Amino acid sequence: MKIHIKNGRLIDPRNGIDAVRDIFIAAGKVVGIGGVPADMADFHASQTMDATGHIVCPGLVDLSARLREPGFEYKATLESELRAAAAGGVTSLACPPDTDPVLDEPGLVEMLKHRAKLLNLAHVYPLGALTRQLEGRNLTEMCELTDAGCVGFSHGDAALTDTLVLRRAMQYAATFGFTVWLRPEDAYLAKNGVAHDGEVAARLGLAGIPASAETIALGTILTLARETGARVHLCRLSTRDGLEMVRQARSQGLVVSCDIAVNHLHLTEHDIGFFDAHCHLRPPLRTQRDRDALRQGLADGTVDAICSDHTPVDDDAKLAPFAESEPGATGLELLLPLTLKWAQEAGASLPDALARITSEPAGLLGIDAGHLTVGAAADLCIFDPEQYWKVEHKSLQSQGKNTPFLGLELAGKVRWTLVGGHVVHQA
């Protein structure tokens, strides 16, 4: 299948391209940018896409998307969520290991990779469990899991209170050069908490999670990273002070990366309003000062990437008093429009904004994706940056319809998504 995408504005952050260029695709790969390669002078496209007024960029790379398989198929299935990925222009995604059973055995990882490959809607890169059953006691077979397809090791949202186990897990991962993905949160300080420990929690009578839950855990992780030499990626930072610690650690020479969730880029504790369970998220939405610091960190490069933190939850699980509702929000289809919204509000350039959801996260995952070099896999997203669409039940492909942005009109409509030269989404 040969495809010709014409008249689109190509933005390829990694290659520093932002210009109207035609793209030519054959045999699943990009074969020409701006023109047909000399040895293909007789290129006859079987499909031509007119991308006039559209932006053509590398397919999005999402660092955290829960697909809920295996184990939670009533919340979402691999197929429903990979369709959501395609609809959101996401062509590669990392999924955390907190499924049921937990991704702690090579067979499970192979099965997931296999099922995803059959669906052929997006590339799935599992993060293996850092400890067996995510119980924080015994290490997993990291080498075997890596051979099965894991790109790193994570503890999901499960607590890892035993610092000796954490240190050993980091030492072991460092032995083989594996990346450890950790969301910094002190289990004791976060216990039972459902909202930022501040004004809103005080008003609504909700149990709080103080900012120190993040900074104390960060202190532990950063110290152990220095000591063990483990390559660490910090997931979903939420506080100003936490970000400052990362900034300082880096200035002292520590190699460490971090991401933030797209919800935290826009929302604060005040969005909880009168107990809106859609704003029940982990980590909790924090203060405006924290939100502004995250935006600043993104602008100055302290934050490497934005992830969707896609967590589909069924409607019933949100129809409960705030603390009893299940945390999480659907996000795969909102990653692009909410990143564009940030770029517009913060005055960031489109190439810079798109880098945070394409080339940067691809680099963190160590995968060959997130760029459109000639010869690269034809994973693309073609979107209309001006077209608004309303976030509502019927406009979302994900089985989870839960998001704080329900009812909002957002700019940035994905027209086509291509994975390996196949059109997996068209609207």
Partner 1 sequence: MNNPQLTKNGELKHLLSIEGLPRAILNHILDTAESFVGVAEREVKKVPLLRGKTVCNIFFENSTRTRTTFEIAAKRLSADVINLNVNTSSQSKGETILDTVDNLIAMHADMFVVRHSQSGAAHLIARHVAPHIHVINAGDGRHAHPTQGLLDVFTIRRYKPEMHNLRVAIVGDVLHSRVARSEIHALTTLGVPEVRVIGPQTLLPQDVERLGVQVYHDMRAGLKDVDVVMMLRLQNERMNGALLPSAQEYFKCFGLTPEKLALARPDAIVMHPGPMNRGVEIDSAVADGAQSVILPQVTYGIAVRMAVMSILAGNTE
Binding site for partner 1 (CB under 8 A): 197-199, 201-206, 208, 210, 273-275, 316, 319-324
Q: How far is the CB of 323 from partner 1 (least distance, A)?
A: 5
d(CA 353, CA 358) in angstroms, rounded, equals 9
DSSP-derived letter for residue 377 is: B
DSSP letter at 101 equals S
Give the nearest distance from C-beta 272 to partner 1 in angstroms. 9
Residue 255, both tokens? 């190699």
A 10 A CB-CB count for 155 gives 24
Residues 282/312, Cβ–Cβ less than 8 Å = no
3-state SS class at 141: coil
Residue by residue, DSSP assigns 130-188 as SBGGG-SSSB--HHHHHHHT---EE-TTS----HHHHHHHHHHHHHHTPEEEE----HH
CA distance to 57, 102, 131, 166, 280, per residue, from 98 (Å) = 31, 5, 11, 17, 18
Instruction: Report d(CA 202, CA 208) in Å as an integer.
Output: 8
Q: Which is nearer to partner 1, 320 or 427 (CB)?
A: 320
Strand partners, 61: 92
Does 309 qualify as catalytic in the annotation?
yes
Q: Would you say 18 or 314 has its CB closer to partner 1?
A: 314
Q: Give the containing element (helix H, strand E) for 124.
A: strand 123-126
Catalytic residue among 100, 309, 368, 379: 309
Pair of tokens at residue 134: 């995510």
| For helices 240-251 and 288-300, angle between their N-to-C axes, nearest 10 degrees | 30
Strand 231-234, strand 123-126: pairing: unpaired
Please identify which residue in the block is written with the tokens 């996260």: 361
List active site positions. Answer: 309
